Structure 1
Amino acid sequence: MLRRLQPTERTMAQTNETSTNEADAVAGGAAPAANKKNGPDRKGKSETKRALKTTDGAGKAAEGKIKPKTKLVATAETKASVVLKKLKSPKGVTIEALKEATGWQAHSVRGFLSAVVKKKLGLNLVNEVGKDGVRRYRIEDAAKAK
């Protein structure tokens, strides 16, 4: 029958490991392994960091150059930038076209035009009904508006 060990008790493997580390320390003059999780064959965190700083992957001495961890990635166009680009066209754009470009519903497009384009960005948003009866929205330049 197996029983649980008390915190003060050691297994035979732990006893042998401790005596081996102590024997190595006496014989070789090295300190015993500080971190038992890593074991005697593995490097500790500080040793690994030190090795990374002093050598490159081929084992040659590094010249103090550290490669950036992040790569520059071209950012995708946001839905807001797509809407603003379409609104800047001289003909303007319809709600339907903006719905298709963004995937938004009509009330979301109108809310964006009111809250962001007019209020937050302070752009001069003009809406006109064309000959075909369709309402078109566009951003008018401040110089032309005056």
Structure 2
Amino acid sequence: MTTTEPKSATQRPRKMALEPKAAPAEQGGTTTAAPIKRESKVDLILGLLKRPEGATIAQLVAATGWLPHTTRAALTGLKKKGHVVTSEKLEGEGRVYRVAVA
């Protein structure tokens, strides 16, 4: 812990806001593998869209908890990242979105 010297006898030593953390090997511990990356909601949407049956906006909203306009914006973001997002209108189901799997 890095502290600065107190200016007088009544002051406490200050703690630095951001202290550098020692690497696990320096602490005497063993090194472990990198932490597993959590799946983001965009990854969840991409997984649903890669299914053969695709996904509707209602299914994507239920899976993410987002509002429909936010979900459609995520689809636009996937398109901008280079994914081929297709949609088709099905009778009784509404619009079904899919991502072409290479």
Say whether the fold is shared (TM-score over 0.5).
yes
TM-score normalised by the chain length of structure 1: 0.46
User: Kindly, what percent of the aligned residue pairs are identical?
Assistant: 33
Query: Which structure 2 residues correspond to residues 50-129 of structure 1 after superposition, within 5 A?
Result: 66-67=28-29, 72-114=34-76, 116-119=77-80, 121-129=81-89
For 1:79 and 1:65, how far apart are their aligned partners in 2?
Answer: 35
Of structures 1 and 2, the one scoring higher in RCO (CA 8 A, sep 6+) is 2
Decide which structure has the larger Cα Rg and report it: 1
Q: CA deviation at 1:77?
A: 1.6
**Misfit runs of 4+, over 3 Å:** 68-75
* Structure 2 alignment gaps of length 5 or more: 1-7, 14-25
CA RMSD of aligned residues (A): 2.9
For 1:65 and 1:98, how far apart are their aligned partners in 2?
Answer: 45
Could you say which structure has the higher helix fraction?
Answer: 1
Q: CA deviation at 1:106?
A: 0.3
Corresponding residue for residue 140 of structure 1: 100
* Structure 1 alignment gaps of length 5 or more: 1-6, 8-36, 38-63
State the aligned residue count: 79
Could you say which structure has the higher strand fraction?
Answer: 2
